[in-house]
């Protein structure tokens, strides 16, 4: 890398945030190629050379990026790469027919290749969506059906409208229908990916942009064929930009990992999903307005405009209600997850998230230990001093213990006066010292009974928690003092 670029170029590339040097080089080169394609004459040899050169460059950069990707994500990127290679090959075949053979056949040799490329793109997006959301989400598919029906209305009105009824059933007539139908399938695959409430991922967003550009180009091309036009100036520019987005997606930071959506978030309605639903609701009457405006029936156009406005207002109101319901649901989920008195995790949350907590702690390495802590004679304190004082004691104990723990430690209220603790330390001695500090930090007048267990390799964390609880009960029944932690910890 140092030999390829001068020192000043390397210095500039090192200042660019969030992306690798190769990503920025691809972005700059792609931007220049897109501008060149947009400025060169249509159907010229120079424009074809720049566009096809950009396609071949995209294939090369994609191959370089794939060598850096981990095996667990290669299934998705293989489909993406197959779509890219077939698309570039189809472009070469199409330009050869236009510029060398001076003919523009439809259907031609390139059409089966374009259909195969679209199929590979759909498979890539479906594989990615299934990886991120493996379950069946009925609400999401209902929303996608609404959006697809709205898109089909526009395709039927402005793409297929001039071809209905078709004359004959030749290959060209069939392709006139197959291309828009494949576009609808591509819409379904893109929407399934876009509406997921997943964390931001630059690779997925770039893939969605590439798919949307390909979809727009397909619709423009289908429309121009049906209207008898031979070219659209912006079509080649959009197509080149879509091709260049593929290696950019593979070089983006999120290309190495596609996190699955948490099951309890699968029915979450994101802002993107709400906007798409609103657009879908007003798409059909908007298409009718455009048609009626073209034909000159202004009264009907105005009535439909009023309907669209009313539908839009109702949708905005429903969106506000939905956001309020989601805020209430989030607050209730937060209250159920955390104890109202101490602010610690509750036992149901601990039991549900235990595997995830252990996985996070293991990332730091070292020894993992579970501890059960019980306040001695707490019920006597409650009876003698009252519930309010007992609550204040629990709060003071929680604050004192949290002050002795590190950021990665997890303390939860297991029930009543019992607490459970997950420790991550470099050795058994460090874990024992933490428990000693907790005992010394306990407010004066209160004693604690401690039982702990080291998490064994390949052991279910719940078994370790159970062993810690048994160790605590053994301390209580046998009268072992809490400072004797070498006996209290079960290895």
Contacts of 185 (CB under 8 A, 6+ apart): 118, 122
**Whether residue 322 is found in the same domain as residue 293:** yes
> What is the pLDDT of the chain when averaged over all its residues?
76
**Whether residue 245 is found in the same domain as residue 149:** yes
Q: Please check the confidence at residue 360 and state whether its pLDDT lies above 90.
A: no
Residue 148, domain member (yes or no): yes
pLDDT of residue 56: 92
Q: Please check the confidence at residue 248 and state whether its pLDDT lies above 80.
A: yes
**Whether residue 377 is found in the same domain as residue 450:** yes
Spatial distance between the Cα atoms of 154 and 284, rounded to a whole number of angstroms: 7
Residue 2, domain member (yes or no): no
Q: Please check the confidence at residue 231 and state whether its pLDDT lies above 60.
A: no
**Whether residue 141 is found in the same domain as residue 44:** yes
pLDDT digits (tens, 9 = 90+) for 419-452: 888 888 877 778 888 888 888 888 776 778 888 8
Residue 378, domain member (yes or no): yes
**Whether residue 40 is found in the same domain as residue 121:** yes
Q: Please check the confidence at residue 5 and state whether its pLDDT lies above 50.
A: no
Residue at which a domain ends, from 305, 337, 369:
337
Q: Please check the confidence at residue 403 and state whether its pLDDT lies above 90.
A: no
Taking residues 18-43, what's their average pLDDT?
A: 84
Angle between helix 428-441 and 387-402 (nearest 10): 140
pLDDT of residue 81: 92
Q: Please check the confidence at residue 471 and state whether its pLDDT lies above 50.
A: yes
| DSSP per residue, 37-67 | HHHSPTT-HHHHHHHHHHHHHHHHHHHHHHT
Residue 395, domain member (yes or no): yes
Confidence tier at 487 by pLDDT (50, 70, 90): very low
How far is residue 197 from each of residues 104, 259, 260, 261, 328, measured CA to CA in Å?
A: 44, 11, 10, 7, 18
Higher-pLDDT residue of 465, 168: 465
Q: Please check the confidence at residue 469 and state whether its pLDDT lies above 80.
A: yes
Higher-pLDDT residue of 136, 387: 387
Length of the chain: 491
Q: Are 421 and 370 a contacting pair, CB within 8 Å?
A: yes
Helix/strand/coil for 293: helix
**Whether residue 355 is found in the same domain as residue 461:** yes
Torsion of Cα atoms, 75 then 81 then 82 then 85, to 10°: -170
**Whether residue 272 is found in the same domain as residue 357:** no
Spatial distance between the Cα atoms of 382 and 390, rounded to a whole number of angstroms: 5
Residue 357, domain member (yes or no): yes
Domain that holds residue 207: 7-259
**Whether residue 160 is found in the same domain as residue 37:** yes
Residue 342, domain member (yes or no): no
**Whether residue 254 is found in the same domain as residue 380:** no
The model's pTM is: 0.58
Q: Please check the confidence at residue 329 and state whether its pLDDT lies above 60.
A: yes
Taking residues 102-130, what's their average pLDDT?
A: 83
Confidence tier at 2 by pLDDT (50, 70, 90): very low
Spatial distance between the Cα atoms of 206 and 40, rounded to a whole number of angstroms: 26
Q: Please check the confidence at residue 10 and state whether its pLDDT lies above 60.
A: no
Spatial distance between the Cα atoms of 70 and 427, rounded to a whole number of angstroms: 32
**Whether residue 92 is found in the same domain as residue 162:** yes
How far is residue 437 from each of residues 367, 402, 406, 433, 443, measured CA to CA in Å?
A: 18, 11, 12, 6, 12
Q: Please check the confidence at residue 212 and state whether its pLDDT lies above 50.
A: yes
**Whether residue 391 is found in the same domain as residue 416:** yes
Confidence tier at 79 by pLDDT (50, 70, 90): very high
pLDDT of residue 87: 92
CATH number at residue 484: 3.30.70.270
Residue at which a domain ends, from 280, 304, 337:
337
Range of 225-239, 315-329, 402-416 with top mean pLDDT: 402-416
Helix/strand/coil for 225: helix
Q: Please check the confidence at residue 227 and state whether its pLDDT lies above 70.
A: no
Q: Are 76 and 127 a contacting pair, CB within 8 Å?
A: yes
Residue at which a domain ends, from 314, 337, 360:
337
DSSP 266: T
Residue 199, domain member (yes or no): yes
The count of structural domains within the chain is 3
Residue 423, domain member (yes or no): yes
**Whether residue 371 is found in the same domain as residue 330:** no
């Amino acid at each position: 890398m140092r030999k390829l670029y001068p020192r000043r170029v390397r210095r500039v590339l090192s200042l660019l945030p969030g992306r690798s040097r190769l990503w920025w080089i691809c972005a700059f080169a792609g931007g220049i190629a897109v501008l060149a394609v947009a400025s060169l004459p249509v159907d010229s040899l120079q424009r074809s050379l720049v566009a096809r050169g950009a396609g071949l460059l995209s294939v090369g950069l994609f191959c370089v990026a794939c060598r850096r990707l981990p095996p667990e994500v290669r299934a998705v990127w293989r489909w993406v790469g197959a779509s890219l290679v077939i698309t570039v090959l189809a472009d070469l075949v199409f330009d050869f027919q236009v510029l060398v053979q001076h003919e523009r056949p439809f259907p031609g040799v390139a059409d089966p290749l374009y259909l195969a490329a679209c199929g590979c793109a759909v498979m890539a997006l479906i594989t990615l969506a299934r990886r991120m959301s493996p379950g069946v989400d009925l609400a999401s598919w209902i929303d996608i059906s609404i959006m697809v029906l709205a898109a089909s209305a526009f395709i039927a009105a402005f793409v297929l409208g001039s071809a209905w009824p078709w004359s004959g059933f030749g290959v060209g007539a069939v392709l006139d229908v197959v291309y828009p139908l494949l576009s609808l399938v591509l819409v379904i695959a893109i929407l399934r990916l876009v509406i997921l409430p997943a964390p931001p991922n630059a690779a997925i967003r770039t893939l969605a942009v590439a798919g949307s550009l390909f979809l727009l180009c397909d619709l423009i091309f289908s429309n121009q064929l049906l209207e008898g036009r031979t070219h659209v100036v912006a079509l080649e520019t959009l197509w080149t930009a879509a091709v260049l987005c593929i290696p950019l997606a593979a070089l983006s930071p999120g290309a190495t990992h596609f996190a699955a959506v948490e099951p309890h978030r699968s029915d979450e309605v994101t802002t993107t999903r709400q906007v798409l639903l609103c657009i879908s609701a007003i798409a059909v009457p908007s298409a009718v307005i455009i048609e009626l405006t073209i034909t000159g029936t202004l009264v009907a156009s105005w009535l439909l405009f009023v309907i669209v406005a009313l539908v839009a207002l109702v949708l905005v109101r429903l969106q506000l209600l939905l956001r309020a319901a989601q805020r209430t649901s989030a607050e209730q989920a937060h209250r159920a997850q955390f104890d109202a008195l101490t602010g610690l995790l509750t036992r149901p949350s601990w039991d549900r998230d235990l595997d995830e907590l252990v996985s996070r702690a293991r990332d730091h390495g070292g020894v993992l230990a579970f501890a059960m802590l019980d306040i001695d004679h707490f019920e006597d304190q409650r009876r003698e001093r009252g519930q309010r004082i007992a609550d204040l004691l629990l709060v003071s104990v929680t604050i004192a213990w949290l002050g002795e723990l590190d950021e990665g430690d997890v303390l939860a209220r297991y029930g009543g006066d019992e607490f459970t603790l997950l420790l991550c330390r470099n050795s058994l001695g460090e874990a024992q010292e933490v428990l000693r500090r907790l005992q010394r930090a306990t407010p004066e007048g209160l004693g604690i009974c401690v039982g702990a267990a080291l998490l064994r390799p390949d052991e279910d964390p719940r078994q370790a928690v159970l062993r810690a609880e048994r160790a605590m009960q053994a301390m209580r029944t046998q009268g072992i003092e809490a400072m004797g932690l070498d006996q209290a910890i079960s290895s």
